[in-house]
Amino acid sequence: MLGVTDLSTYLAGLALIILLPGPNSLYVVSVAARRGARAGYRAAGGVMCGDMVLMVLSAGGVASLLQASPAAFAVVKFAGAGYLTWLAVGMLRGAWRMWREREVRAAARAEGEPARAEPAREEMERPYRRAFVVSLLNPKAILFFVSFFVQFIDPAYAHPELTFLVLAAWAQLFSITYLTALIFSGTHLAALFRRKRRLTAGMSAAAGTAFLGFAAKLSVSSA
């Protein structure tokens, strides 16, 4: 069909790959839990746009360039690892602030003083832009797209670009379905997180630690 050699196998492999946890899905569910479904969908939009850019770059041969040039791969790799580390530090600092605010509010209640509202730093967060950059600065994803897609493209088909679009459309459909499930699972937890500052701080700290792990894994990866 439209140059796709084995659609059922492609869809099965795609489902397994998308279900694997990674920085994109972790960031989306974190945003949805902290700020609600609308912000979660903005983050999901950033992930999908970033993935689409990577798919187009893969089709254009950038993946082959990264494989052939260790220096180029190293530049992209360490840029991605550095950005993930920056995000992780921000999450850990946010968790520490929430923990301190919880102690201040508890002390104020004990003394009978009204708790002062702290400025909402989360309002300055731009979920779409962050998710887009997290998705884009991932050289392993570029290499994955070109190595996975090529297995299902019929070389005899007259319009391989159409085959690529079909495969990319299926990938995006699976991605938005999975991210939607994450967003709504996150929003169900949002009310609980708003009441339990300790739980919110713990989640932010766990997400920041996971992002540090992703950064370390990316920095030691090879083309």
Residue 223 class from Cβ within 10 Å (0-12 exposed, 13-18 middle, 19+ buried)?
A: middle
Paired with 153 in beta bridges are: 4
Q: Residue 186 class from Cβ within 10 Å (0-12 exposed, 13-18 middle, 19+ buried)?
A: buried
Residue given tokens 């002062």 in the structure block: 116
**64-115: pLDDT as tens digits:** 666 677 787 677 677 767 766 877 787 777 777 766 765 555 555 555 554 4
Determine the pLDDT at residue 108.
53
Helix and strand element counts for the chain (H, E):
9, 0
Tally of CB atoms within 10 A around 15? 12
Question: pLDDT tens digits for 1-26?
Answer: 778 888 888 888 888 778 777 788 88
Token readout for 166 is: 């079909």
Residue 43: band (very low, low, confident or very high) from pLDDT cuts 50, 70, 90 = very high
Mean pLDDT of the chain: 75
152 vs 100: which has the higher pLDDT? 152
Q: Give the Cα separation of 63 and 102 in Å (integer).
A: 47
pLDDT at 143: 67
* Long-range Cβ contacts of 98-106 (<8 Å, 24+ apart): 98/197, 98/200, 98/201, 98/204, 99/197, 99/198, 99/201, 101/197, 102/197, 102/198, 102/201, 105/197
113 or 29, greater pLDDT: 29
Q: Residue 157 has what pLDDT? A: 77
